[in-house]
Structure 1
Amino acid sequence: MLKSLTPGKLTVDLGQYSSAGRKTINQDFHGAIVPAGAALTVKGIALAIADGISSSPVSHIAAETAVKSFLTDYYCTSDAWTVKTAASRVIDATNSWLSAQNRGLEDRDHAHVTTFSALVLKGRRAHLFHVGDSRIWRLSGRSLEPLTTDHRLAPSHGESYLGRALGLLPSVEIDYRRLDLQPGDVFVLTTDGVHDSVSLRTIAACITSNADLSAAAAAIATSAHEAGSSDNLTIQIVRIEGLPEDDLEPVFDKADSLPPAPLPRVPCEFEGYQLHRQIHASHRSHIFLATEPETGERVALKFTSADMREDENYLRRFAMEEWIARRLSSVHVLKSRQPLKPRRSLYLVTEFVEGETLAQWMADRPQADLRAVRDIIGQIADGLRALHRKEIIHQDLRPENLMIDRSGTVKIIDFGSALVAGLNEAAPGIDRGDILGTVQYAAPEYFVGDHGSEQSDLYSVGVIAYQMLTGRLPYGAAVARTRNRRQQQKLRFSSLREIRPDVPDWVEGAIRKAVHPDPAKRYQVLSEFVYDLSHPNPNMVATDPQSLMDRNPLLFWKCLTVLLSLVTIGLLLKDFG
């Protein structure tokens, strides 16, 4: 019996048993990992069970490979990924390897093929993955509730075969299900040697009457053997003893538990660095230029705002910036640096970017050249793709958060507003639905309470492209005033070409699509938008010209006012005549 009993964290009681039964070899395999520390929070507890097909002499290898690969590789995936993304990619990779071992085999009965079921407990939810006919159950009263469906086909009476299993085909469809957890929930994983021979009531009774889950698992397997099971016997039982609160300590390498560093008075020495001057100050943070004495390399040190040092959510997000940066690898994303010494207070160390913000760049070029706009937008998209591959949404993309160095390389900075899918899954309380970004660049969906998506970041990129070309915003300040879908449907895109007639209509069409109020009607991938900025797309040219009212309401009413004035003057002259 294995227990995880950490106060305030996800805690479980786990029992397992496996036997060859009446067979000479055990073609089943099972395993579980109950990690400690940050891994328990960001990855959770994992159980897996597999049953190799009985006709193959190598199926036990397939079963062992499937379970060991899952339990090892799942914990090596990005902490920023959701359970579904991480586990599915690991299972897909295992299936590809098993399928490759079977390539060229004439006799499929000698193939590396196995069923596979996995249960991942993370935060306050259970995540189920299933292929084949091993099963996952939940204890419900005096019986078991099935949570998976067998992938077994029966073309005729008395004949059946697996329609889905790992190694059977080069690609595999994985059943996925997510459930909310409650203290006391009991989950059971079994192979068919157990559940085909013992009644569900017997299994449930054995679990509820036995405090030792390992003893209960062994007793259930013995019952299956005594009932005449001729197959291998494997069972796992896990009971939820406690659930975590909505916090993430100590996920951020304990940085979020440190007191905020005091603002230094430069020039000075600070924790091994020589600080020279302040290069940025705002209500949210202060950034200083510093050097490492031994190497002379310049770095940037970021300190918390004095006004927000009592805000726990702000401090947690401040620490999260470094956590995110360390998990990204792109020339277009600001790099984090390891502090020279063990930190005594909360501050961040990053590479120093010698250059200017995009806001400064735009101030010098009120209506930028289209070629320069394409280059910068393309680099922003490259940086965003690095975030999105890790399931991270920036949520505060704006000219002030984009740096351009002396060589013209664009870098995305400041991840304090980011939405990390994996962390949000572990502790939903970290994202409370607040609009964390800057309202001029925030996508309309934020203002009706929706979470951000890749299309939300795309919207911000589109607004930046529009502003670089025109110096204005596509909807002015109207987006921030909307509070429901109906109001957003009335938003009117201000024609870019009325300000910049030299810009092709298909470029305007691409930007118009990127900033559509409905995220479903925007580009679904950044690369399409970047491509359409440089390649004429006839679909981006409006076939039905918009009315003047739609394109420029102010000009419409001005013209209408002039027309009515002329009509009025004409009528007056007629009367006097």
Structure 2
Amino acid sequence: MNRLKISVGQHSDKGRKAFNQDFHGCHIPREPQLSLKGIAIAMADGISTSEVSHIASETAVKSFLDDYFCTSEAWSVNNAVQRVLTATNSWLHSQSRNGPYRYDKDKGYVCTLSAMVIKSTTAYLFHVGDTRIYRLHDNGLEQLTHDHRLWISQDQGYLSRALGADSLVEIDHRSLTIKTGDVFILATDGVHEHVDAQFIIHTINGHLTNLNEAARRIVEHAYQQGSEDNLSIQIVRIDDVPLETSPELHQQIDQLPFPPILEPRARFDGYTILREVHASSRSHVYLALDEETATQVVLKTPSIDLREDLGYLERLLMEEWIARRINSAHVLKAALPTRQRHYLYTVTEFVEGQTLKQWLIDNPRPDLETVRSIVEQIVKGLYALHRMEVLHQDLRPDNLMIDTTGTVKIIDLGSARVAGVVETATVEPNPFPGTALYMAPEYFMGEVGSSRSDLYSLGVLTYHMLSGRYPYGTQVAKTRTAAAQRRLAYRSVLDDEREIPAWLDETLKKAVHPNPEKRYQELSEFTFDLRHPNKAFLNKTRPPLIERNPVMFWQGVSAILAGIILVLLYQ
């Protein structure tokens, strides 16, 4: 199986200066981090006016290479890197503020930084300052970064943006697809201002088997051309691009056999099967006793019909992968792995209780306060997922459990979208990840979901608990264009049999708006408005009968017309 592989050449020299303020580094992790986090490369350049700028450069590069790999595997590269660099910038700025040159940023802990993360088939670039990143492309050098330098004359300029210069920093970022043979170059201004593109290209092409020698020759040439600055360069060649699979999950699929059909009392891989909980065309779910820990757990085994579907199998295993990384009382937990598995299956905690679907059958008319309590607990679970850049995408009564203590848990993560995993292209995206009645309209147009898509599903769920109906009936799944979605008519949740405040109807209407930009932007806004009348909604009157109950309205109109016709006939 192909895996990401690169070759790196690096060289740095103090040049004509007393000491070297540049710093550079590269970290190539082992699997599974190689696939899940990628390879990180970074170069920083201190400013010559500062005596502590070399500390800033070293700190920026080391913290980037160390801290990035400590961030969640579920996070996207951009999110992880932005958080790391923001923290580094804050630390550098605070050191300057606490030092003797707190009012002179040119003498503080300030540096430039250009960094790359190469993950799967994509290179992610991050940049602040005037260190540059190039790509050797079509026998030419393509500059991929923009210098943050303000020129006040032909020969004099200063950095307009750098790490540590201010309390907040704006990091340029971009991404581009890579292919085998691509060459990237990171260079400080001491090099790129004194070496022409053709010399760099010729030197690299002449030393493809020894990139360190190529880097050394380029630095020497910059020195000979009169560079008076520190000189640093990194050359990165892409030797192999991975296949679009996940080594961690794919290895399990390749190496582990499928489990047999399990029966009650059967002993299986250290478990005793107690009973079958659920069986469908997608999976078999069993309640089992872990013989080692004497605790009850839930085993999920793949469907016999879908065992040849690699995407399905990866999504099945991904459910447990996500559950291990989420820590919330309102999200199903994965069982701790205590021993090696000999078959392909997943293990999660056993939740004693009933699904929300069954609870609604038993409690068809829940009061408003109970609905609010359920929704607020679901939101806590969604918060835990969204913080890790995980979208649930299939929020519905079947995928929620209420345990014996009244705690609501999200129990099914099989359709979840993980930003960090999507970047590796390991699992084929499902264009319709959820259940039609609860799926946000944007999914039916082929768009990628967002946290507001989960909010839409939650809004539909809330509406359904209060009324037993759906805000647009079954029409959402039929609308595949923006124009058709604009024609969707919201049906008021209010009726003559339920005590529901009129302003609450407006809250639900906003939560399930067909346009995600017109929904609540945050889950907290929705839960707040469920309890507190929004002033904008209080000024609106109760919707007319045609909106609340179109059938009753037209039945009434028909009855009146029939009466008029009878009167006219008998005159």
In the aligned structure 2, how far is the partner of 1:333 from the partner of 1:253? 27
Q: 1:362 aligns with which of 354, 360, 369?
A: 360
Distance 1:179 1:407 in 2: 50
Identify which range, 117-126 or 177-186, moves more after superposition.
177-186
Q: Is the 8 A contact 1:256 1:319 kept in 2?
A: no
Q: Which residue of 2 aligns with 1:70?
A: 64
Alignment-derived partner of residue 114 in structure 1: 111
Counterpart position of 1:509: 506
**Quick one: distance in 1 between partners of 2:497 and 2:136?**
66
Provide TM-score, normalisation by structure 1.
Answer: 0.94
Structure 2 equivalent of residue 3 of structure 1 = none
Partner of 2:423, secondary structure, is helix
Kindly state the Cα deviation for residue 294 of structure 1 after the two structures are TM-superposed.
4.3
Report matched runs for 1:19-34 at 5 Å: 19-34=13-28
Among 268, 271, 277, the residue aligned to 1:270: 268
Counterparts of 1:223-242 in structure 2, within 5 Å, are 223-242=221-240
- Residue range with higher mean Cα deviation, 206-215 or 395-404: 206-215
Asked if the contact 2:132–2:188 (Cα under 8 Å) also holds between the matched residues in 1, the reply is yes
Find the residue that maps to 1:166 and give its secondary structure. Answer: coil
Q: Is the 8 A contact 1:456 1:519 kept in 2?
A: yes
1:537-552 → structure 2 map (5 Å cutoff): 537-541=534-538, 543=540, 546-552=543-549
Cα deviation, residue 458, structure 1: 0.7
Q: Distance in 2 between matches of 1:517 and 1:241?
A: 46
Q: Is residue 355–residue 403 contact of structure 1 (8 Å, CA) maintained in 2?
A: yes
CA 1:176/1:81 → structure 2, altered by over 3 Å: closer, same or farther? Answer: same
**d(CA) in 2 for partners of 1:252, 1:418:** 18
Q: SS of 1:137's equivalent?
A: strand
Q: 1:501, CA displacement in angstroms?
A: 4.2
SS at structure 2 position matched to 1:395 = coil
Q: Which amino acid aligns with 2:52?
A: V
Alignment of 1:168-179 (within 5 A): 168-179=165-176
The corresponding residue for 2:185 is 188
Correspondent of 1:450 among 441, 447, 450: 447
Shift of the alpha carbon at 1:325? 0.5
What is the Cα deviation at residue 255 of structure 1? 5.8
What's the secondary structure of 1:116's corresponding residue?
A: strand
Are 1:49 and 2:54 matched, yes or no?
Answer: no
1:478 aligns with 2:475: yes
Specify the SS of the correspondent of 1:99.
helix
In structure 2, what is the equivalent of residue 80 of structure 1? 74
Decide which moves more: 402-411 or 155-164.
155-164
**Kept after mapping to 1: 8 A contact 2:494/2:548:** no
Q: Which whole-Å deviations, capped at 9, do the CAs of 1:507-530 have from their partners, x for residues lacking one?
A: 111111111111111111101101
Query: Where do 1:188-227 residues align within 5 Å?
Result: 188-211=185-208, 212-227=210-225
Partner of 1:419: 417
Match of 1:398 in 2: 396
Q: What is the distance in 1 between the residues matched to 2:90 and 2:250?
A: 34
Given residue 296 of structure 1, which amino acid in structure 2 is its aligned partner?
A: A
Say whether the 8 Å CA contact 2:252–2:344 is kept in structure 1: no
CA distance in 1, matches of 2:312, 2:537: 41
User: Are the counterparts in 1 of residues 354 and 403 from structure 2 also a CA contact under 8 Å?
Assistant: yes
Please give the alpha-carbon distance, in whole angstroms, between the structure 2 residues aligned to 1:542 and 1:412. Answer: 36
Q: CA deviation at 1:272?
A: 1.3
Hey, what's the Cα distance between the residues in 2 that align with 1:258 and 1:228?
62
Amino acid at match of 1:73: D
3-state SS of 1:426 partner: coil
Give the Cα separation in 1 of the matches to 2:250 and 2:163. Answer: 36
* Structure 2: distance between partners of 1:417 and 1:472: 24
User: What is the one-letter code of the residue matched to 2:435?
Assistant: T
Amino acid at match of 1:484: T
Tell me which of 141, 146, 150 is aligned to 2:147. Answer: 150
Q: CA RMSD in A?
A: 1.9
Partners of 2:252 and 2:32 lie apart in 1 by: 9
Within-5 A mapping of 1:234-383: 234-251=232-249, 254=252, 257-383=255-381
* Cα gap change, 1:257 to 1:83, in 2 (>3 Å): farther
**1:99 alignment partner AA:** H
The one-character-per-residue Cα deviations of 1:329-356 (angstroms, maximum 9, x if unpaired) are 1111111013442101111111111111
TM-score normalised according to structure 2 size: 0.95
In structure 2, what is the Cα distance between the partners aligned to 1:126 and 1:335? 33
TM superposition shift of 1:46: 1.2
Which one-letter code corresponds to 1:408 in the other structure? G
Deviation at 1:502, TM superposition (A): 1.1
**Partner Cα distance (1:563, 1:253) in 2:** 71
TM-superposed deviation, 1:277: 1.5
For 1:325 and 1:252, the matched residues in 2 are separated by: 18
How far the C-alpha of 1:545 sits from its partner, in A, is 5.9
| Cα distance in 2 for residues equivalent to 1:318 and 1:271 | 19
Displacement after TM superposition at 1:166 (Å): 0.9
For the 8 Å contact 1:41–1:251, the answer to whether it is kept is no
Deviates more, 1:376-385 or 1:300-309: 300-309
Aligned residues: 567
CA contact (8 A) 1:250 1:256 kept: no
Aligned partner of 1:467: which letter?
H
Unaligned runs of 5+ in 2: none
Please give the secondary structure, in 2, of the residue aligned with 1:50. Answer: strand
Offset from partner CA, 1:452-502 (integer Å, 9 cap, x none): 211111111111111111112111111122222222212122111125541
Aligned-pair CA distance for 1:567: 3.0
Could you say which residue in structure 2 is the equivalent of 1:97? 91
- Distance in 1, matches of 2:476 and 2:539, equals 23
- Partners in 2 of 1:402 and 1:408 — Cα distance? 12
1:509–1:542: 8 Å Cα contact kept in structure 2? Answer: no
- Name the stretch that deviates more: 238-247 or 368-377: 238-247
Please name the residue that 1:134 is paired with. Answer: 131
